[in-house]
Homo-oligomer: A and B are copies of this chain.
Amino acid sequence: MENPFANPFFANPAFANPWQTHESRLVYDNPWIRVREDQVTRPDGAPGIYGVVHFKSIAVGVLPLDDEGCTYLVGQYRYVLDLYSWEIPEGGCPAGEEPLAAAARELLEETGLRARHYELLGRAHLSNSVSDEEALYYLATGLTQGSAEPEGTEQLQVRRVPFAEALAMVQRGEITDALSVLAIQQYALRHR
């Protein structure tokens, strides 16, 4: 932003940060997340704590769409939920990688697909009460099929389904991964 004062969020105290941070203590760190606890003064002036989960990667999701109107869903067991989940191809974009390159890499690793065209469908903050995780989701078209190369943490199944069926899976509650639902709903809205 060139001139912050041109933005009412900066000039108007109603949009200013009402929190004060006093101390910050690292409580956990691994290759994917870092958790800290801050001593804060809350918006109402009372003392409090805030546990913040920092994500080291941006989440990137890809909705691939082939010339016959089919998309590709990836099935995997989600460890933290203890359930099997059908999702769009997605993964993490670590610091230093371009999100679009990460999206293309994840699409290739998980499905073997390469895309000639990418279009940003949207950007979201997935869980903003606790984490700073940001997600970008793309439409990928102009697909060609190669070989999938999943990571060691992934044991995947891939299904090619008409886009209308993926949308129906969302509506039936069979796809619950937020990033997948965001992308599928957004494409459906743009191309209704």
Contact = CB atoms under 8 A, between A and B. Distances in A.
A32 interface: yes
Contact of A127 (B17, B27, B126): B126
B18 A152 contact: no
Interface residues of A, number: 68
A145 interface: no
16 contacts: A15-B84, A27-B27, A30-B49, A43-B155, A46-B152, A55-B130, A80-B129, A92-B129, A123-B173, A126-B127, A127-B131, A167-B189, A181-B182, A185-B186, A188-B189, A192-B192
Given A43-B153, A44-B155, A185-B185, A132 B192 contact: no
A contact face: mostly helix, strand, loop, or mixed: mixed
A123 B176 contact: yes
Contacts of A30: 37, 49, 51
A82 B178 contact: no
Interface of A: 9, 14-19, 27-28, 30, 32-33, 35, 37, 40, 42-44, 46, 48-53, 55, 59, 75, 77-82, 84-85, 92, 122-133, 135, 152-155, 157, 167, 170, 173, 176-178, 181-182, 185-186, 188-189, 192
